[in-house]
Amino acid sequence: MKNFMFMILILLNFNLPSGGSLFAGPAAPADVIGAANPEARDAVGITPDMIYRNVGKAMDRGDVRESDFWMAGYMALEISGESGHAYAGLIPFFEKRENLRKPVSFISGQYSEEFLDFFFRGTYAFWEMPENVSDEKNREFMIRANHNGEYFAQIAVTPYLESWVIIREKNMQKRVIPFGDFIQPPVIVAGTLKQGVPEKFFDKHVLEIGEHPLHYVWPIEFHDIDGDGVPEIWTRYNAAWADGFSQVLDIYKIKNGKELVLLKKFEGQAEGIARRLADGKIEVGYGTTDKDGVGHLGYDRHRIETWEYKNGDFVKISERNVPHLLIGNEWKQYYFENQE
């Protein structure tokens, strides 16, 4: 508990991860990936070699959960640019595990290379050691934290590795992704602040992802949508499916000053979107097509709906069709622009 409180005090001042860039070539969109901190890691004795050795030890014991913990931490080293410490160094370990050697899920190869790079590596900064480790015993990372001065909220996640393949006619590629676990599901830890220090903790709330690994998580937001003087807590994230992902926007009310209750869940299925716009409206889009006999991988457009909160309920006010967001570069503005 002492370590958990220490992490809260740090994370309330730093909305992790933030800044920096992972992508080769064009600069990554803002807040896609965090900046590594080798000095902080070395100060507590967590060196790249130690992380790598712990991967091997966990593999030798057959401890999948612990090996995922250390492998996720090792993948995070790739964003620091440190020579010799990257994804490639883990391939021998991947080959030793059945569920990593053989892909269990796939994603379309028609999507832009920049998006696929984000999909496979965009979660790396969540697993930085020691910055984001909130509970080593339970293999938990605190991947997002924010506050509005009166309330705070954080998301704690255990890493879970899964092997995916990019479906193409030629040059199909396999990649292991560090997701958030759904067997030990992510939790939202929230409460009240007094002079910048946690005063009260609400009941822990399990993030409602079902049996879907947690992919990228956007910064937590606070917005009072119903004007009652108490902000709702907004979480946005991608949830992985066997053949892609959906994007989810959850809006939570603070009930009786002690717990979070889901007010509304918006879900953009088939590689869709679900986001709050700067004017308070909500956009929800889902992949689709008007062609006959075309499966999921053949979707060529998104149907985007705009919703607004009116008179105590969410009302759809418009809808439109646009070319598939992930095939070109339009995805970046829907993922990382036009927000507060």
Q: For tokens 């996720």, what's the residue?
A: 72
Judged by DSSP in three states, 304 sits in strand
Amino acid at 101: R
Q: How far is CA 47 from the centre of its chain?
A: 25
Place of tokens 């889902």: 286
217, 235 Cβ separation under 8 angstroms: yes
pLDDT for 38: 52
Lowest mean pLDDT among 39-48, 132-141, 257-266: 39-48
CA distance 148 to 85: 37
> What's the pLDDT tens digit per position in 164-215?
999 988 888 999 999 999 999 999 999 999 998 999 999 999 998 999 999 9
Instruction: Tell me the C-alpha distance between 215 and 186, whole Å.
Output: 11
**CA 212/CA 297 separation, integer angstroms:** 19
Pairing mode, if any, of strands 313-323 and 159-167? unpaired
What is the mean pLDDT of the segment spanning 69-92? 84
Question: Minimal CA–CA distance to 78: which of 214, 175, 220, 206?
Answer: 175
CB 261 within 8 A of CB 272: no
Evaluate if residue 1 carries a pLDDT over 90: no
Q: What is the pLDDT of residue 6?
A: 34
Of residues 199, 101, 184, the one with CA closest to residue 150: 199
| pLDDT at site 79 | 80
Q: Report d(CA 211, CA 135) in Å as an integer.
A: 23
Proportion of the chain above pLDDT 70, given as a percent? 84
pLDDT tens column, 40-71:
445 456 889 999 999 999 999 999 999 999 99
Peptide bond preceding 159 in cis form (omega within 30 of 0): no
Query: Is residue 95 classed exposed, middle or buried when 0-12, 13-18 and 19+ CB atoms within 10 A define those classes?
Result: exposed
Exposure letters 138-166 (e unless 16+ CB within 10 A, then b)? ebbbbbbbbbeeebbbbbbbbbbbbbbbb
Angle at 38 between CA 35 and CA 39, to 5 degrees: 115
Q: Is 171 left (phi over 0), alpha (psi -120 to 50) or beta?
A: left
For 21-40, give the DSSP string: ---SSSPPPTTSSPPP-HHH
* pLDDT on residue 31: 37
pLDDT tens digits for 277-321? 999 999 999 999 998 888 888 899 999 999 999 999 999 999 999
Cα separation, 156 vs 132, in Å, equals 9
**CA–CA dist 173, 171 (Å, integer):** 6
The pLDDT value recorded for residue 337 is 74
Confidence (pTM): 0.87
Burial class (CB in 10 A: 0-12, 13-18, 19+), 230: middle
Greatest mean pLDDT range, 44-58, 78-92, 148-162: 148-162
Asked whether the predicted pLDDT for residue 35 surpasses 80, the reply is: no
